[in-house]
Amino acid sequence: MSLIIKLATRGLTLFVVLLVVLLLVVITLGATGFSERMLQATISEELRGLRQSLAQTIRDPAQLEEALSLHHEELISYYHLDKPWSYRLPDLVRRVLTLDLGEARTLRSFEGSSQVSEIVAERLLNTILLVTTASVITAILGLLIGPRLATKVGSRLDRVACLFLAFSYALPSMWVGIFLILAFSFSVNLFPTGGMYSLPPPEGGIERFMDLLWHAVLPIVTLVLVSFGSWTYTIRTMVLNTAQEPFVSVGRAKGLPERMVERRYILRVAAPPIVTSLMLGLAGSLGGAILTETVFNWPGMGRLYYDAILAADESVIVALTFIFTLIYIFARFILEILYLILDPRIRYA
């Protein structure tokens, strides 16, 4: 019973974090005047296009200005600029918290829908296919290589591997993406330069899926190359710190096989921080990768957030912030449960 109460308290605390994050978003958009300035710019752009359109049919300048003025008032009312930001944005947050994501003002889904939920859903699937897949591959490689390097500290293999890992960590994703496009798209013509499908896209199910995988190879390789070094080195450091603990030396002094020492004395103790990095990394991957998605023209969550800021689409900005924070909170809560399984020393009593 005490355990359930403690976990419920942790969940409530994380929910408060969600509310605080959304409150900060509201203050940033509203109190700084960013929201109002961007909406005013959007209205001005709409009026400019309307002026050019009406000028073809309305010759009287007075009538033209009257029509524009009337439409300007309608836009002010539509965007709720006739009300203070303290009224407009909190109402948006209230709807988001009730999972009523509403409609986007300017952005649209691939099917032309303005529903924020549909826009986010299609971009989220694209991000899972690209960024999350790359994160899983990186995590597997790190878990396979990192512990091995930690058991061979100072060896030639360890020195060469650490040099390569440092080189990988220093690579900028945009540069790597452009280099791979030049090498494998223009020079060899082995992979496409970007996008998700060929033009025109295949109609069949398996052919369409294989075409999608073909387009995803270069961006996935890019993300693995730039993230593999830091993740593997992190795993190596975590395992190395644990391997130097006194209880590990005691296990070896007992004559236990090295495999058993690695599995029971090192990896099991190092598991909580490793799982923490893995879970938060997977949760963060759902936020997308703006630079890689831009280089390869991949419509993911990172690119959507960037487009929403440029378009000053408040509904999408607040909805994405809510979703990203919710993913983080869910990952943190899962970690609280995993800690109990991985580390018996942890007790909430």
Q: What is the pLDDT of residue 101?
A: 67
Average pLDDT over residues 90-94: 69
Above 80 in pLDDT, residue 5?
no
In sequence order, the β-bridge partners of residue 115 are: 103
On whether residue 293 sits in a domain, the answer given is: yes
Q: Are residues 123 and 92 in the same domain?
A: no
Above 60 in pLDDT, residue 319?
yes
Above 80 in pLDDT, residue 235?
yes
Q: Are residues 149 and 88 in the same domain?
A: no
Q: Are residues 202 and 328 in the same domain?
A: yes
329 within 8 A of 259, measured Cβ to Cβ: no
Q: What is the pLDDT of residue 33?
A: 67
Average pLDDT over residues 79-100: 69
Above 80 in pLDDT, residue 20?
no
Above 60 in pLDDT, residue 14?
yes
Q: Are residues 209 and 88 in the same domain?
A: no
Q: Is the dihedral of CA 297, 300, 303, 307 positive or negative?
A: positive
Q: CB count, 10 Å around CB of 305?
A: 19
Tell me the per-residue pLDDT of 34-51, one tens digit each, with 9 for 90 and over.
Answer: 667 767 777 777 777 777
Residue that the structure tokens 């099917």 belong to: 111
Structure tokens at 296: 């390869």
Q: Are residues 268 and 157 in the same domain?
A: yes
Q: What is the pLDDT of residue 129?
A: 86
Greater pLDDT, 34 or 335? 335
3-state helix, strand, coil in the chain (%, to 5): 75, 0, 25
Which contiguous run of DSSP H or E holds residue 215? helix 205-243
Average pLDDT over residues 69-73: 81
Residue that the structure tokens 């992190």 belong to: 234
Q: Is the dihedral of CA 256, 257, 259, 260 positive or negative?
A: negative
On whether residue 106 sits in a domain, the answer given is: no
Q: Are residues 38 and 181 in the same domain?
A: no
Among 81-90, 110-119, 144-153, 206-215, where is mean pLDDT lowest?
81-90
Flag whether the pTM goes above 0.85.
no
Stated length of the chain: 349
Q: What is the pLDDT of residue 280?
A: 78
To the nearest whole number, what is the mean pLDDT of the chain? Answer: 79
On whether residue 111 sits in a domain, the answer given is: no
On whether residue 347 sits in a domain, the answer given is: no
Query: By percentage, how much of the chain surpasses pLDDT 70?
Result: 89
Q: Are residues 92 and 121 in the same domain?
A: no
Tally of domains in the chain: 2
Q: Are residues 211 and 174 in the same domain?
A: yes
Q: Domain containing 171 — which CATH number?
A: 1.10.3720.10
Q: What is the pLDDT of residue 271?
A: 79
The last residue of one of the domains, among 63, 97, 131, is 97
Above 80 in pLDDT, residue 170?
yes
Q: What is the pLDDT of residue 131?
A: 83
Q: Provide the residue range defining the domain that includes 163.
A: 116-342
Average pLDDT over residues 50-55: 76
Above 60 in pLDDT, residue 1?
no
Q: Are residues 161 and 92 in the same domain?
A: no
| Coil/strand/helix, residue 103 | strand
Q: Are residues 43 and 173 in the same domain?
A: no
Above 60 in pLDDT, residue 81?
yes
180 within 8 A of 221, measured Cβ to Cβ: yes
Tell me the per-residue pLDDT of 243-289, one tens digit each, with 9 for 90 and over.
Answer: 778 887 888 888 888 778 777 777 777 778 888 888 877 777 777 67
Q: Are residues 248 and 314 in the same domain?
A: yes
Greater pLDDT, 102 or 221? 221
Listed in sequence order, the residues at least 6 apart from 221 whose beta carbon sits closer than 8 Å to its beta carbon are 180
